[in-house]
Structure 1
């Protein structure tokens, strides 16, 4: 027969070999508690693993996002530790040098620099504080050197706020130079456009001024031509031997006496008109727009009067322009450039009062506080207080598109500044615009 085994645990027996039910129950409870604890630990491990996987996924996504941003940045980026060893670069730097990213990790930064670069790390720590740039060249994969790169540096801090390395950013200087040259070209073109507009206004005024004396001279020459025909016919008759009666009749019909009496006035008027044209041409020569001309001492009142005369000569329906100038306002500088400034300010004032039946522009000059002060004011709508500080900014204009470039006041401000003076914008008591030029006296 098979031997029967007692199912009760042997540990439940006492030393006398008897079975202890209480001990068995305690052991069973202990085993249940152990199993429950193991299940809790296992459940926690599962939860920790899921959480760890989620954090790892988020970290990978953040890393991919950062890498995509660094790859999209067109400027080069180099991250180094405190020893100057490269920790990370972006795609722009790899494209610049042609090197592989795996070959750059932990590579000393000095190994990638041209021989004449010097200690870049020393430069970096100093310029990270001072904010300076430095032009360097890197070694490329083909053994040559890259284009010059303008590098700037910033200190990289760790989680405690202590220096942990440097971050270098830069852009090839060739690209910057091309952009700068394009900007300079565009600026020069716009300034030239504004100068041509000023020249056009000047030419319109000069043409109007020249039209009067030239028309006068032309009319006198036409009259002299008719008179010469009469006198020639009279002389031909005399030379042909006509008698006295025929000669006197011809003298009366040709109005020889009135013609001879009118000749001095005609010749005097023609000479006066020619002299007026010569004066205008001489004024044009004096009002040269060349910036290279030497400064000279001149009467600002004369320049203002000429500017007022020419600036509105080609326009119709102009407002009244009132002048209040002393006998002499001596200044030193370039009269042509100051003429350009005054014409521009008067043209702006005339545009501001265009269409107003009571439009008025006042130009006053005086010597005040050791300065020569010229004020150009109008009774137009004025300058709103929120933009009065912007009127001298380049390209800022309140005129409609096609009516102004926004460079006139900017150029005028620069001209007055180069003359050692100031140009200010403000408002009159009636609300119109007022521009004040202050220049040091000669």
Structure 2
């Protein structure tokens, strides 16, 4: 990957100057929205920008998941979903000067159970210009797909600062741009059901960004993912894939500055322009009805580290172990994955270099490769792209676990039952705090790691 060191150094110096001079910043999180399977993981990245869309250097970001039992998140934004479906927010906070700034992304874990009656608000996720109107309607559908008669609808808008909506579902946008929700409370057979849709108030999404993604030899990379995150309000995230010629077009963009990123399986992801991290990225600006062309990417092949994680006491494979790799001189930039049901893992898309590799899961001792309890004693794993380094295995010692069997009243084991362990923080049972969850196996056995 080509590096524009002088340009990046200049950007960083300007960014640090702005951090002390400006008084308003935006924290952009990529991706803005994500759907994750229960027990799976996804990496979020955060970057602070000035009012002029210039990247700002920040010492560190503090990450948080709301609600907490949706999953857990690492200190650099790797989200590990819990076992139950749900939805929530990923929040990244940074301190710039003496002020605190935060960015938010939305995450859905799994698919919620299909309701008996589903309320659909139409149109879905519209973009409405300031001062313009949009008519909404609510449709009720049974689980069998039968349309149901609605007696009445109460309409609500969140936040109210986006405009107003009357009792017929007619929305009138205010002058302020932003993102929110239109909510319909529907009465059917004396019962109230809720439906909602997203809403963005902004100028028309008529801008485009296009380009080509190739490898180092100039060959097109098909099916590469290209995404654009709007810097500023309202929050907007678009993603597409390249065609067989490596070409892509991101459409329906709001005028503004965008953080654009390209990624492909087995390659090192890249931000425009030739940047490995968002701090060094060059935002792409587009206006009304404009198309930014030739936003091209040349991706370098990445190396990989693979291995297996087992329990030290039984040699049984461990699923859901968090394996992380990073360069000693760049500890803020980590590469993550989770083991599968066989205990196997693969960390790919790695630039050439020497890495520290660690494995961590609840109930077991944290371990660095090779069988080291402390980072200072870790054995480095040298990677030369595009090679894969196999056999980086871990055998984790157990720390603590709660084990048992779940059966029905006849003594038959119940597989895939959810066992929840909570810690009492007072004499009030309702004040217990979530700690861990586990699933029973085919024999009804469980072991919740503490």
TM-score class, shorter: under 0.3
TM-score by length of 1: 0.19
**Structure with more helix by fraction:** 1
Q: Answer with 1 or 2: which has the greater Rg.
A: 1
TM-score by length of 2: 0.19
RCO higher in structure (CA 8 A, sep ≥6): 2
**Which one has the bigger strand percentage?**
2
